[in-house]
A and B are shown apart, each in its own frame.
Chain A
């Protein structure tokens, strides 16, 4: 990472097409597969065109915001960048380790203690035991869970789980950061703390892509914004002007954000 000079493209997205097969909408059993050989469920499914030719780049040090209406393809784009959704057309190149924050408190082991879950998350993010040990106490104190950390996660309130998840991920977020609407976590006191921490983390990351409906936050932390509408880039530029365009469109169309 160190040999990369500022200004180099860390994320390159070229003509990306993402067709999301709606497999759950078109269930197919083993019987149907046997009776119709050669036609797999995947190829039979109806598709939802989530992204229809999207191109952009993110340079080192850039913080790209992605805005748009519900179902416009923002989250699909982020998951495609993370490599979780395979794309059907175009190309995505990401230089560096991808760290993503998608569902904050999903994937915890509920029978295990908070401490043990710190390790699981750390391992998932590609850290080894020693690195996690160094971060452990800081994570616990930021989450404010000193008394509860050795209790099973199922005894935690929803807010406590979110606090723990947030603390882990922000302590370990490095490289290419992909974030999906995470500032709505925890109570008011924690939210303030969390905002500050996230801004610190963003400053340390080599670049970031942030999906959010909170336009104020996007305006404050993002250096550039892309507005996605029905799987296409509608508008791209500095945060101020793109958000203005977006709000104008909502006023005209009257559809909720």
Chain B
């Protein structure tokens, strides 16, 4: 009688092979979620681009008249900020509902719960990639050209994909254990939005006492990872890489521990 391996992230290889086995379920559910998001709208998936784009335009008009910003330059700055910000914030908020939303399937068959968090991660990441294309178009249409540093952008996006995923994963479990988590993260995200250079000019932070915060703020560094090589034609600094990497590493440890200790019990919280 051979003992059956427990389907827990502790048995890492076995767990991942089970995740791989159900990859079709995951992809197919993600496709449905994407379709459902814009079902019966005329513009469909285009909204992924139009929503951040129109918001950036409106904000740029206001900032142009109130703070005398250069309209085009500012619109690109804001658009890039919002596109990356939405990716992060969608990843957390979709992550926090991922397990609860999948409860009907969880009750039917024992498969790794990581699948249900990947499902929602694919939704937020696909949305980001589409809206990023929109940013690229707007950047080129407004008469800018790409510098050689733009070659770094795909690599940096790949790095961010790895950094963001654990946050989606553990948010799923924590969101199921404590339904307050969803509300709590909304407040946290709103705060982070105002203390990060998403639409606020980065120099505003650098000229005040909060500049140390800006150095360590993961969001600020994440934004630099895309903005510097794409918009400014400069190389990201070392801490632009190190701080998000550290952020991701902490996320990974937290996600691993939470999955190891809590995944089995989740069924009782649904």
Residues of A within 8 A of B (CB): 9, 12, 20-21, 23, 29-30, 33, 41-42, 45, 82-86, 93-95, 98, 100, 102-103, 106-107, 109, 111-112, 116, 119-120, 123-126, 128-129
Chain B residues with CB under 8 A of A103: 104, 107-108
| Contact among B4, B110, B181 with A84 in the assembled complex (CB-CB below 8 Å) | B110
Given contacts A20-B268, A94-B4, contact A82 B109 (CB under 8 A): yes
Neighbour of A107 across the interface among B24, B36, B108, CB < 8 A? B108
- The interface residues of chain B lying within 8 Å CB-to-CB of A29 are 178, 180
- Number of residue pairs across A and B with beta carbons under 8 Å? 82
Q: Tell me if B22 is interfacial: C-beta within 8 Å of chain A.
A: yes
Q: B-side binding surface: helix, strand, loop or mixed?
A: helix
* Partner pick for B24 among A100, A106, A111, A123, CB 8 A cutoff: A123
| Residues A120 and B4 in contact, CB atoms below 8 Å apart | no
B265 contacts which chain A residues (CB < 8 A)?
A: 21, 42, 86
CA distance A118 to B159 in the complex (A): 36
Q: Are B107 and A84 in contact (CB under 8 A)?
A: yes
Given A23-B269, A42-B265, A84-B110, are A107 and B180 neighbors across the interface (CB < 8 Å)?
A: no
Interface segment among B25-33, B70-78, B231-239: the answer is B25-33
List, in ascending order, chain B residues with CB within 8 A of A116's CB.
28, 32
Which one of A9, A94, A124, A129 lies within 8 Å of B111 (CB-CB)? A124
Within 8 A of A (CB), among B208-224: none
- Bound-state CA distance A23–B109 (Å) is 21
Bitwise, B73-94 to A at CB < 8 A (1) or not (0) is 0000000000000000000000
- B88-107 at interface with A (beta carbon < 8 Å): 104-107
Residues of B within 8 A of A98 (CB): 109-110
Complex interface: chain A residues within 8 A of B110 (CB): 82-84, 98
Interface size class of B (residues with CB under 8 A): 20 to 34
For B180, B268, B269, the residue with the greatest tally of chain A CB atoms inside 10 Å of its CB is B268
Please give me the 7 A-B residue pairs with the lowest Cβ-Cβ distance, nearest first: A123-B25, A107-B104, A83-B110, A86-B264, A30-B180, A123-B24, A106-B104
Q: A109 CA to B39 CA in the complex, in Å?
A: 13
In the bound complex, residues from chain A placing their C-beta under 8 Å from that of B269 are 23, 41
Given contacts A30-B184, A41-B177, A124-B111, 18 further A-B contacts (CB under 8 A): A9-B1, A12-B1, A33-B178, A41-B269, A82-B109, A84-B109, A98-B110, A100-B109, A103-B104, A111-B35, A111-B36, A116-B32, A123-B22, A125-B109, A126-B21, A126-B22, A128-B24, A129-B24
Q: Which residues of A are found within 8 Å of B105, using beta-carbon distances?
A: 107, 124
Q: Are A124 and B108 in contact (CB under 8 A)?
A: yes
Q: What are some 18 contacts across the A-B interface (CB < 8 A)?
A: A21-B268, A23-B269, A29-B178, A30-B184, A45-B268, A82-B110, A83-B110, A84-B107, A84-B267, A85-B267, A86-B265, A93-B4, A103-B104, A106-B108, A107-B104, A111-B32, A123-B25, A123-B28
Question: What is the 8 Å Cβ interface bit string for chain B, positions 32-59, against chain A (1 contact, 0 not)?
Answer: 1001100100000000000000000000
Answer whether residue B136 sits at the interface, using C-beta atoms and an 8 A cutoff. Answer: no
Compute how far the CA of A129 lies from the CA of B105 in the bound complex, rounded to whole angstroms.
Answer: 19
The answer to whether A109 touches B21 (Cβ under 8 A) is: no
- Within the assembled complex, what's the spacing in Å between the Cα atoms of A112 and B31? 11
Q: Does B3 contact A (CB under 8 A)?
A: yes
Residues of A within 8 A of B3 (CB): 93
Q: Is B61 an interface residue (CB 8 A)?
A: no
B28: chain A residues at CB < 8 Å are: 116, 119-120, 123
Q: In whole Å, how far is A186's beta carbon from the nearest beta carbon of chain B?
A: 19
Chain A CB within 8 A of B7 CB: yes
Q: Which residue of A lies closest to B104 (CB)?
A: A107
Q: Across the interface, which residues of A come within 8 angstroms of B35, CB to CB?
A: 111
List the A residue with the shortest CB-CB distance to B184.
Answer: A30
B103 vs chain A, min Cβ distance (A): 9
Are the C-beta atoms of B108 and A93 separated by less than 8 Å? no
Query: Cα distance A85–B264 when bound, in Å?
Result: 8
Q: Which residue of A lies closest to B7 (CB)?
A: A83
User: In the complex, which residue of chain B has the Cβ closest to the Cβ of A93?
Assistant: B4
Task: Name the residue in A98, A112, A119 with the highest tally of chain B Cβ atoms < 10 Å from its Cβ.
Answer: A112
**Given A107-B105, A111-B36, CB of A23 within 8 Å of CB of B268:** yes
Query: CA separation between A42 and B178, bound complex, in Å?
Result: 12
Q: How far is the CA of A45 from the CA of B269 in the complex (A)?
A: 11
Identity of the chain B residue whose Cβ is nearest the Cβ of A104 in the assembled complex? B108
Task: Write the B179-206 contact mask toward A (1 if CB under 8 angstroms, else 0).
Answer: 0110010000000000000000000000
Tell me the minimal C-beta distance from B10 to chain A in angstroms: 13
